Amino acid sequence: MTGTVYVNGDWLEESAATVSVFDRGFLFADAVYEVVAVLGGKLVDFDPHIARLNRSLAAISLTFPFERNDYLKLFRELVIRNGIDEGIAYIQISRGAAPRDFAFPPSARPTIVAFAAAKAISNSPTAETGITVVTRPDVRWRRCDIKTVGLLGASMTKQAAIDAGADDAWFVDAGGITEGTSSNAYIVTASRELVTRQLGNDILAGITREVVLAVAADQQLTVVERAFSTDEALAATEAFITSATTFVQPVVSIDGVTLGDGRPGSISLELRRRYLDRAHTSAL
């Protein structure tokens, strides 16, 4: 371990970084987080990520004293100290350490942890080949709009997908497909409608999602935010996912059914290209 991480105001080598065993993020998943992509040493979509972090904090009634520029200074320092040209910067804020009790502690001090990691994300091989997904029941809690660290349901479902020979899974509830294990899900219909689940408690309001939908509208695609069924997905001409680290990732197979000719669709690839162009020019 050679990276430098930030823990409660201190910069430490990874091997020296610790948090209390009584931290509520560890005991109750009582914590929220954000992941920001780094391209060319700059932060992609930084401001909307911080706005969503603040929404998540408010949703779990956790007050944290940082302002926007405090976060920006921290993230830039993470990138510099770890020499990240391309990769991710991660931040997690928990309610802090306190004696184990389900009720919120009245005076715990929040724990903040942040780190960065190099990762090839702009030239992902799967962007050229596409990924395969399987559908699985949505077993997560009903507040998926809060970006908490309670990710066991998503983690178990992704592993089940891998065990089944797929790359990832799309969750399905009574209304249809919600989202991927760590991404938003989309289909493109024969009439060039771009369909994705509407915002609500059952999906995360993806930052990349917001940008891609705006880009799609500029490309004269009809954007429809609604629930869609597995059958609709299987009949789609294209499908893809979006997230902070995959950007736009084409999907070429769902539940073993090949979409189109089995290659990434032109709309998915064009949206990816345009998103990356924008990300490179607007990053901080």
Reply yes or no on whether 73 is catalytic.
no
98 alpha carbon, distance to own chain's centre: 29
Residue (of 239, 264, 5, 2) closest to 134 by Cα position: 239
Q: Which residues contact 259 (CB under 8 A, 6 or more apart)?
A: 236, 237, 238, 239, 251, 252, 253, 265
User: Rounded to an integer, what distance in angstroms lies between the CA atom of residue 138 and that of residue 150?
Assistant: 14
User: Rounded to an integer, what distance in angstroms lies between the CA atom of residue 159 and that of residue 203?
Assistant: 20
User: Rounded to an integer, what distance in angstroms lies between the CA atom of residue 32 and that of residue 149?
Assistant: 6
User: Rounded to an integer, what distance in angstroms lies between the CA atom of residue 30 and that of residue 60?
Assistant: 8
Catalytic residue chosen out of the listed positions 42, 73, 119, 147: 147
Amino acid identity, position 144: C
Q: Give the catalytic positions in this structure.
A: 147
